[in-house]
Structure 1
Amino acid sequence: MLNNIHNFFNAFGASVIVPIMIFIISLFLKVKPKKAMMCAFYAGVGLTGFSWIINEFTPVVTKIVRQMVNNTGIKLPVVDIGWQAGALASFSAPIGLTFFVFGLVAEFVLFAIGITKVFMPSNLWNNFGFMIWGTLAFYVTHNWWISLGLSFFMLLYTLLVAEIQADRWSTYYKIDNTTVCALQNIVQTIPAILLDPLWNLLGFNKANLTPTAFKNKFGVFGEPTTLGAILGLLIGILGNIKNLATVAAWGQIFQFSIQLSAVMTIFPLVTKVFSKAFIPLAKQINQERKQNKNAKSGIDLIQDSKRWFLAVDDGVGYGEPATIISGIILIPIMVVIAFVLPGNKTLPVVDLIALPYMVESIVAITNGNILKVIANGVIWFSLGLYASSWLGSIYTNAISHYGAAIPAGIVLVTSFNLMAHPLNAAVFAAFISKNPLWISLCIIIYLVLLIVLRKYRPQIWTYLNKMAAKNVQATSSLKASTKE
């Protein structure tokens, strides 16, 4: 049965399966069939567009990064080969496929009984983020229940964090009643919240580093298209620092400048198409709210205990200007940090293009303050380099065992996007220890946070909006998050 499921999803892929899920969910939400069909098509078109752009641009970025590495002469043993190998292994492993089937059932049940207010099945494909950790755990422990339990526990706390940041995310990215819920990109919410008072103390909230500010100050040079060209020029020069006297080097530099400019121009356009898949669903959720007693009595969005959110693919936010600018700026920064960080063994390469996905929650929490996003990214992803360094041999052996190919000449591999997350690594360590004390501690912390969220959700959302409002770029959109 698991093999049949594996073959089915391999045959159709995300660009077909996700639209089917969107169509079914649209009909369930009473969206008209014609509009539901268009939602499904927009989802498929958007996912295909993301895939084409990233597949074309990833080899270009990888080549530049490798040249930067070669220029330093530093050799790091754990090489990032991208998240795709981990996804392949998780869909090939029995423990991964078991979670894919029963995890989907659990997501429906958790939503139905009110444990979570986030409807996760709409983001079905990102379940591989939970599956890969269970796959690694099973390779280490050979314990079916510990490994499956780990995947389910990661689902639980991901839904918790997704709901904490849901109001901010939907407000900032301007799609009502939606949130992202990918394990590999959601936990950044935690450092963003914890570190924000420190950044304010240092005056980062007064730094007007936003796409809007760039446009106002620099005109055409503040546009994402132009900023992409400038960033591409700088990164290209870093990748060719030893060959600047050659025509070939400058040819590559200017080509990369145009290519990065194209990505920062085209990606937002694809994002707009992709977001059309979810806007009718979000509106339908609002329509249902207006028909219930709470809405009629004038209760606002923050106070509405029945408000729920649709989990959407984080591709919806990738092309937002502050998100893609922050992510691209972090590419050379993380490469340099990988070289100088004491004890680090990980070289981020292929998944660097995923950095805009990885900073979305930080962008939403900080209201698009690029300086804060970069500061949070530097700290959190630096800790993540240690996590992926520790997991290097486990990840390499596990994914190769389940059929993923290891590039020739590389001893250890990782996925910067999947593995460079300190919190996920800590939970993984607790479960593979098989120590009841550490596993129980994880569960107790989750239950306490869940109780706090259920009791104080309006206060938490209000606090996050006040945090966002302290940034100099706060706009009227913040007011829209608290009143309909």
Structure 2
Amino acid sequence: MDAVLSAIKTLFDTLGATVMLPIIIFLLALILGAKPGRAFRAAVTIGVAFVGINLVIGLMWSNLTEVAQAIVKNTGVTRDVVDVGWPSAAAIAFGSSVGLWVIPLTLVVNLVLLALRLTRTLDVDVWNYWHFAFIGSLIVAGTGNLLYGLIGAALAAALALFLGDWTAKAVQKFYGLPGISIPHLTSAPIVPIAIATNWVIERIPGLRDAEWDTETIRKRLGVFGEPVILGLVIGLVLGAIAFYNAGDAMTVLAKVLGAGINLAAVMLLLPRMVAILMEGLIPISESAREFMQKRAGGDREFYIGLDSAILIGHPAAIASALVLVPIAILLSIILPGNRVILFADLAVIPFVVAMTAPVMRGNVLRIVIAGTITLAVGFYIATSMAPLFTSAAVASGFSLPEGAVQITSIADGFLWPPFLFVRTVMGLGALGLVVLAALLGVALFFFLRNTKAWEAAAGAPAEATASAD
């Protein structure tokens, strides 16, 4: 069995997302009844779009990471828990005992929930199944029980599908992505926090009236409110903070201007890449709708679950995330009891906050507030979870960075699902898994009972909300 599981994992690792995703989309489109030619073109277009998205994200990642690390270095602050970044966390997850099982396990969970009408999402974002394996690997590290880890990973997959369904209508309307959901455990967990934050803001005079959405900013600031210029300005400010002492005047100027231009490029190019993605998604979405009308009498919807990378090109999401970078560094310095120093994963902040944008109607100020709260709580979660994170890393053969006593990652180490799952199972054992399943079942029951209200709370306009299956 291990050989079969290893072969499946090797196949996906070798071909990579840019090759496997078009194949999966092509096969899915054929199953949904699309004509072969149309399905093939849509699949290739989606694959090309993801190549473009990944190239632009790579540009953002390299530049934002360099800027953030320079800012951290300038503070002179050191901590004993080092942020190693999500690629390291993913390697730890897939290298764990749970990692071999996570792909077939998640597919089984997804198909069973679809058959039972307990989800509308088919999660084809196989490469982000590592989030489920990560939670499972931490459970194994904390309990020494592989079965607990596998059940925990399965429940994490079910949670992701639930969050994807809950937020789908809001994401589709705000981002213009018909038929798509985002069952992503780096991005979706912030939604309950954003809803609570928005509720509080609505009750604070003055703050509730502050309109800082990108359209209002554009009207007030003119050309300086355009996304590309906004990216340039934010990049120049961050570059100046990061590189003011990088060398002689010419070196400083080059680095600051480079940061500005590169982040301006991200603000301009990411939406263009998502527009190409839409060319491929629309035929698939139409085929899914026709398929459901024929097979389910038109009373059921079907979503394709994708990576949250397709969201972060929105001006409100990326602008808020760039503002949150220095805020995150400041929090790491001033929060009492925090042991985490941010280093490799500051560029993941756009992914963390992207799904707050529909809840906040694109209001940058509100997104920043929700992001600040999430990060502040996250530092304490990361400090608490660092010993287990480190144990799981060592068990999977990961080498700790020089000078690091323990490690973490913003992508998963800062967020509430791993903390909730791991601490519950460590504290209650098998009963903890029952408690988690019960909590998820209760949430799903109330969601299916009053779907429109839940979707509206997540940011979906009234006309976009779905009826329960």
TM-score normalized by structure 1? Answer: 0.89
* CA deviation after TM superposition for structure 1 residue 242, in Å: 4.7
- Contact 2:183-2:305 within 8 A present in 1 as well: yes
- Contact 1:140-1:394 within 8 A present in 2 as well: yes
- Which of 262, 281, 284 in structure 2 is aligned with 1:281? 284
SS at match of 1:184: coil
- Structure 2: unaligned runs, 5 residues or longer: none
* CA deviation after TM superposition for structure 1 residue 129, in Å: 0.9
* CA deviation after TM superposition for structure 1 residue 423, in Å: 3.7
1:277-356 counterparts in 2 under 5 A? 277-288=280-291, 306-356=300-350
Q: 1:483 to 1:158 in 2, by over 3 A?
A: closer
SS at match of 2:355: helix
> In structure 1, what is the equivalent of residue 214 of structure 2?
211
> In structure 2, what is the equivalent of residue 158 of structure 1?
160
* CA deviation after TM superposition for structure 1 residue 405, in Å: 4.3
> In structure 2, what is the equivalent of residue 236 of structure 1?
239
CA deviation map 1:90-136 (0-9, x unaligned):
2222311212122212211111111212222x222211110111122
Q: 1:357 to 1:243 in 2, by over 3 A?
A: closer
Q: 1:426 to 1:35 in 2, by over 3 A?
A: same
- In 1, Cα distance between the equivalents of 2:84 and 2:263? 20
- In 2, Cα distance between the equivalents of 1:483 and 1:433? 38
> In structure 2, what is the equivalent of residue 88 of structure 1?
91
SS at match of 2:347: helix
- Which of 25, 29, 46 in structure 2 is aligned with 1:26? 29
> In structure 2, what is the equivalent of residue 481 of structure 1?
464
SS at match of 1:325: helix
CA RMSD between the two structures? 2.4
* CA deviation after TM superposition for structure 1 residue 237, in Å: 1.5
Structure 1 residue 16 corresponds to structure 2 residue 19: yes
> In structure 2, what is the equivalent of residue 142 of structure 1?
144
- In 1, Cα distance between the equivalents of 2:295 and 2:92? 45
- Which of 367, 371, 379 in structure 2 is aligned with 1:377? 371
> In structure 2, what is the equivalent of residue 408 of structure 1?
402
* Stretch of structure 1 that moved more, 272-281 or 404-413: 404-413
Q: 1:239 to 1:424 in 2, by over 3 A?
A: same
SS at match of 1:132: helix
> In structure 2, what is the equivalent of residue 225 of structure 1?
228
SS at match of 2:34: coil
Q: 1:219 to 1:457 in 2, by over 3 A?
A: same
> In structure 2, what is the equivalent of residue 300 of structure 1?
none
* CA deviation after TM superposition for structure 1 residue 168, in Å: 1.1
> In structure 1, what is the equivalent of residue 420 of structure 2?
426
- In 2, Cα distance between the equivalents of 1:43 and 1:250? 38
> In structure 2, what is the equivalent of residue 167 of structure 1?
169
> In structure 2, what is the equivalent of residue 176 of structure 1?
178
* CA deviation after TM superposition for structure 1 residue 245, in Å: 7.4
Letter in 2 for 1:26: A
- In 2, Cα distance between the equivalents of 1:8 and 1:291? 34
- Contact 2:181-2:306 within 8 A present in 1 as well: yes
* CA deviation after TM superposition for structure 1 residue 370, in Å: 1.2
- Structure 1: unaligned runs, 5 residues or longer: 296-303, 469-477
* Stretch of structure 1 that moved more, 397-406 or 177-186: 397-406
SS at match of 1:209: coil
> In structure 2, what is the equivalent of residue 459 of structure 1?
453
Q: 1:48 to 1:335 in 2, by over 3 A?
A: same
> In structure 1, what is the equivalent of residue 7 of structure 2?
4
> In structure 2, what is the equivalent of residue 388 of structure 1?
382
- In 1, Cα distance between the equivalents of 2:465 and 2:431? 41
Letter in 1 for 2:21: V
CA deviation map 1:256-293 (0-9, x unaligned):
11111111112222222233332222222333466689
- Which of 62, 67, 85 in structure 1 is aligned with 2:65? 62
- Contact 1:85-1:405 within 8 A present in 2 as well: no
* CA deviation after TM superposition for structure 1 residue 392, in Å: 1.9
SS at match of 1:170: helix
SS at match of 2:305: strand
Letter in 2 for 1:367: R
Q: 1:429 to 1:128 in 2, by over 3 A?
A: same
Structure 1 residue 124 corresponds to structure 2 residue 107: no
CA deviation map 1:432-478 (0-9, x unaligned):
3343554433222222111111211123334555xx7xxxxxxxxx4
Q: 1:412 to 1:382 in 2, by over 3 A?
A: same
Letter in 2 for 1:134: G
CA deviation map 1:191-210 (0-9, x unaligned):
11222210111244422211
- Contact 2:69-2:344 within 8 A present in 1 as well: no
Q: 1:91 to 1:462 in 2, by over 3 A?
A: closer
- In 2, Cα distance between the equivalents of 1:423 and 1:282? 30
- In 1, Cα distance between the equivalents of 2:425 and 2:194? 26
Structure 1 residue 73 corresponds to structure 2 residue 73: no
TM-score normalized by structure 2? Answer: 0.92
Overall identity of the aligned pairs, in %: 24
Letter in 2 for 1:109: V
Letter in 1 for 2:13: N
Structure 1 residue 362 corresponds to structure 2 residue 356: yes
SS at match of 1:208: coil
- Which of 36, 51, 58 in structure 1 is aligned with 2:39? 36
Structure 1 residue 417 corresponds to structure 2 residue 400: no
Structure 1 residue 111 corresponds to structure 2 residue 114: yes
* Stretch of structure 1 that moved more, 150-159 or 267-276: 267-276
- In 1, Cα distance between the equivalents of 2:320 and 2:241? 18
- Contact 2:228-2:267 within 8 A present in 1 as well: yes
